[in-house]
Amino acid sequence: MDIRNGLVEAIGNTPLIKLKRASEATGCTILGKAEFLNPGQSVKDRAALFIIQDAVARGQLRPGGVVVEGTAGNTGIGLALVGNALGYRSVIVIPETQSQEKKDMLRLAGAALVEVPAVAYANPNNYVKVSGRLAEALAASEPNGAVWANQFDNVANRLAHIETTGPEIWAQTDGKVDGFVAAVGTGGTLAGTGIALKERNPAIKIALADPFGAALYSYYTTGELKSEGSSITEGIGQGRITANLEGAPVDFAYRIPDAEAVQIVFDLLEYEGLCLGSSSGINIAGAMQLARELGPGHTIVTVLCDYGTRYQSKLFNPVFLREKGLPVPGWLERSVDVPN
Ligand code: PMP
């Protein structure tokens, strides 16, 4: 029998999918960890589960208690669903610029949603800071307690990837993996998976794939946190070294233009049937760069972070794409003439 006992056991153990066109273009085997197949349709289910379990183990969260978080959406969706399964409520603070689909899903999952203007981290009204204050206030008033998930600086996040994502990739490839590439939101995926893989074989190369508008490409190439430009990607693009990123074993860093990332996402849907969000495009572009760096014959793993329907109104909307000066895939506007 192969039975998962509830939502919690349905998180993780996602398949590794060989990406045909990326592999053919580079002469390497490029594999995507299919995190969009998690119950909340993103990689963040793993961090959400570990953060909640950690808060329970510390006695900070009691049955009926509240989990508060600031999130671009995916972590909130994971927290809300895991919360429902384990008996906790969720209060989610999200920047209003994030996709409507993620906000709708959060409401659907029963989260109390607080939308705030998208302002920089240094601003006290930044979504992360608002969520921290809200958690403190609720901790004082909620009879069963309230905790701040604090995904950026709570290392229970990266522990999820040290204990699950990394070991899964190692086992699924029989240890025949030469490189791992990921973009950074909190850094949990990159640092945690990187640490777990290096622990098993220090020769495995770990690479960051950064969008424009983030400061980490600059940090890992020059030592200075500096950003330029902007990106339509959601859930990634970090401007500081979070606690989860600290000590991440990063060998290479690449900066990927949006136009390159979205074209990869469109081609994957059109030619391989894989429907993904834009951060997966950044990751695959990064994996192809690492493949070129290492040369043909290597195996590179990256992350297929979330499912594309989450961005139907933006990434797959011709009006939005044209506004941003990005390519529009022909099939989005294809029509069929029906004979009379
Ligand atoms: N892609 C998407 C769509 C995400 O929501 C996130 C998480 N914010 C990431 C990538 C990056 O994951 P991490 O927080 O582990 O760096």
Beta-carbon contacts of 81 under 8 Å, excluding residues fewer than 6 positions away, are: 7, 39, 40, 45, 48, 109
- DSSP designation for 307: B
Report how far residue 300's alpha carbon sits from residue 285's, in angstroms, rounded to the nearest whole number: 12
Q: What secondary structure does DSSP assign to 132-149, as a single string?
A: HHHHHHHHHH-TT-EEE-
Pocket test for ligand 1, best of 105, 189, 307 (most atoms within 8 A of CB): 189
| Ligand 1, atom 8, residue with closest C-alpha | 235
| Ligand 1, atom 5, residue with closest C-alpha | 235
Torsion of CA 106, 109, 111, 117, to 10 degrees: 0
Whether 308 contacts 226, CB under 8 Å: no
- Ligand 1 atom nearest to 306, measured from its CA: 3
Helix and strand totals (H; E) in the chain: 13, 10
ipTM of model = 0.99
Q: Residue 223 Cα, ligand 1 centroid: separation in angstroms?
A: 23
| Ligand 1, atom 12, residue with closest C-alpha | 185
Tell me the three state secondary structure of residue 304: strand
- Predicted confidence at residue 329, as pLDDT, reads 96
Whether 197 contacts 91, CB under 8 Å: no
Splitting the chain (340 residues) into consecutive groups of 10 residues, what average pLDDT does each group show?
Answer: 96 98 98 98 98 96 96 96 98 95 97 96 95 96 94 98 99 98 98 99 98 98 98 96 98 98 98 98 99 98 98 97 96 93
Report how far residue 108's alpha carbon sits from residue 217's, in angstroms, rounded to the nearest whole number: 36
Q: Residue 340 Cα, ligand 1 centroid: separation in angstroms?
A: 49
- Ligand 1 atom nearest to 47, measured from its CA: 15
Beta-carbon contacts of 196 under 8 Å, excluding residues fewer than 6 positions away, are: 161, 162, 163, 165, 166, 167, 170
Pocket test for ligand 1, best of 74, 154, 304 (most atoms within 8 A of CB): 74
Whether 234 contacts 311, CB under 8 Å: yes
Given strand 252-256, what is the order of strands in its sheet? 16-18, 29-34, 299-304, 179-182, 205-211, 252-256
Pocket test for ligand 1, best of 38, 43, 150 (most atoms within 8 A of CB): 43
Residue 179 host element (H or E) = strand 179-182
Report how far residue 17's alpha carbon sits from residue 38's, in angstroms, rounded to the nearest whole number: 14
Nearest to 239 by CA among 247, 230, 250, 251: 230
Please return the burial class of 37, using the count of CB atoms within 10 Å of its CB with bins 0-12, 13-18 and 19+. middle
Ligand 1, pocket residues at CB < 6 Å:
42-44, 72, 74, 183-190, 234-236, 277, 279, 305-306
Strands 16-18 and 112-116: what pairing?
Answer: unpaired
Whether 333 contacts 269, CB under 8 Å: no
Whether 71 contacts 93, CB under 8 Å: yes
At what angle are helices 74-86 and 44-57 packed, to 10 degrees? 50
- Predicted confidence at residue 213, as pLDDT, reads 98
Report how far residue 202's alpha carbon sits from residue 188's, in angstroms, rounded to the nearest whole number: 19
- Predicted confidence at residue 198, as pLDDT, reads 98
Report how far residue 88's alpha carbon sits from residue 179's, in angstroms, rounded to the nearest whole number: 38
18 is catalytic: no
The catalytic position among 20, 33, 44, 102 is 44
- Predicted confidence at residue 190, as pLDDT, reads 99
| Ligand 1, atom 3, residue with closest C-alpha | 235
Q: Residue 229 Cα, ligand 1 centroid: separation in angstroms?
A: 20
- Ligand 1 atom nearest to 185, measured from its CA: 16
- Predicted confidence at residue 47, as pLDDT, reads 98
Strands 179-182 and 89-95: what pairing?
Answer: unpaired
- Predicted confidence at residue 199, as pLDDT, reads 98
Q: Residue 78 Cα, ligand 1 centroid: separation in angstroms?
A: 12
Nearest to 290 by CA among 173, 177, 179: 179
Mean per-residue pLDDT over the chain, rounded: 97
- Predicted confidence at residue 185, as pLDDT, reads 98
